[in-house]
Amino acid sequence: MTQARNFIEGLLKPAGIGLQGDRSIDIRVHDERLFDRVLRAGSLGFGESYMDAWWDCGALDEMLTRVFHAKIDQAVARNPSVWLAAIRARLFNLGSTTRAFEVGEKHYDIGNDLYEAMLDSRMVYTCGYWKNASNLEEAQEAKLDLVCKKIGLQKGQRILDIGCGWGSFAKFAAERYGTKVVGVTISKEQVELGRKRCEGLPVEIRLQDYRELDEKFDHIVSLGMFEHVGVKNYRRYMEVVERCLRENGLFLLHTIGQNNSTHYTDPWIEKYIFPNSMLPSVQQIAAASEGLFVMEDWHNFGADYDKTLLAWYYNTEKAWPNLRGKYSERFHRMWRFYLLSCAATFRSCRNQLWQIVFSKNGPPGGYASLR
């Protein structure tokens, strides 16, 4: 056996993961070049090797959960792909206006048919709320209703949705609460389908960067968009929200977060899933909002994202016979690795899901937290 294989096998052993074993969490190696590739390129090499079918695992999500718990990924993280990501994030503003639409083109515009197959009927592409839900449909409806209740939504109010996706929240708020909604997104495909889905409702969906907004709204929500803003733009983002929020309004920020402050994302996620993205920390969000807002509520339900991602995975696998004519098998393996590796980050508490409610000066009578 090569030195690289011996090293990797030694890292996996304390986590209970074997090579060529018959358990669902064992890694079945099809190409011995895997070990050198992982040591050379870290998570990027590991993910690309899976895409290239150099290895398989029966329970990919559970194996990766063990990897994250044991911090095995950090033991092989000292490689050029990580260094380059860190340097690039330090030197460049990855969330600048010139780069803002890149993630829309590379991720959200890849095909509405894929997202229609993967998501619930409302096409909500953010974490569901599973407290009293038994399936994805119920979890996403519960999440949308929870958002509306947390901001005290009232009939006739005008709401801004920053990063509106295919209009799921806008449609729900307009139909259930009788509100007017403006949604902005950087995805052309989301705008086209979102406008069709919201037809006949007081909903306006725009292809627009958040920095261009300069108008008043009763409340503002942002569900799963902050991950694309970048730490160099967090303060400006908060300033835009403060500028557009009426004095007695509330702002709800729904975002994935991480436990430590960084300036870059995982190299594999950056290259194949979310270019120019990064996850915020508690400290970074607090610093960006300081002096602009009062933090009224901070709700963490990261475990629910594990369930949501697994539901998306099962939906995708079920629909794959109808999708394979358009998407390659390498793409299929990439998408599977994306969904299950992300599920593992939440199951291992590597990542969190936060809903944070902000006010400008505190609502009259105080804010009552809802769960």
Active site residues: 342
Return the exposure string of 327-338: e unless at least 16 CB atoms fall within 10 Å of the residue's CB, then b. beeebbbbbbbb
Beta carbons of 258 and 33 less than 8 angstroms apart: no
Contacts of residues 48-51 at CB distance under 8 Å and 24 or more positions apart, as own/partner, are 48/268, 50/333, 50/337, 51/272, 51/330, 51/333, 51/334, 51/337
Q: How far apart are CA 5 and CA 124, in angstroms?
A: 42
Return the exposure string of 110-142: e unless at least 16 CB atoms fall within 10 Å of the residue's CB, then b. bebebbebbbbebbbbbbbbbeebeebeebbbb
- The alpha carbon of 271 is separated from its chain's Cα centroid by a whole number of angstroms, namely 15
Q: How far apart are CA 147 and CA 169, in angstroms?
A: 9
Triad 159, 125, 245: Cα angle to 5°: 20
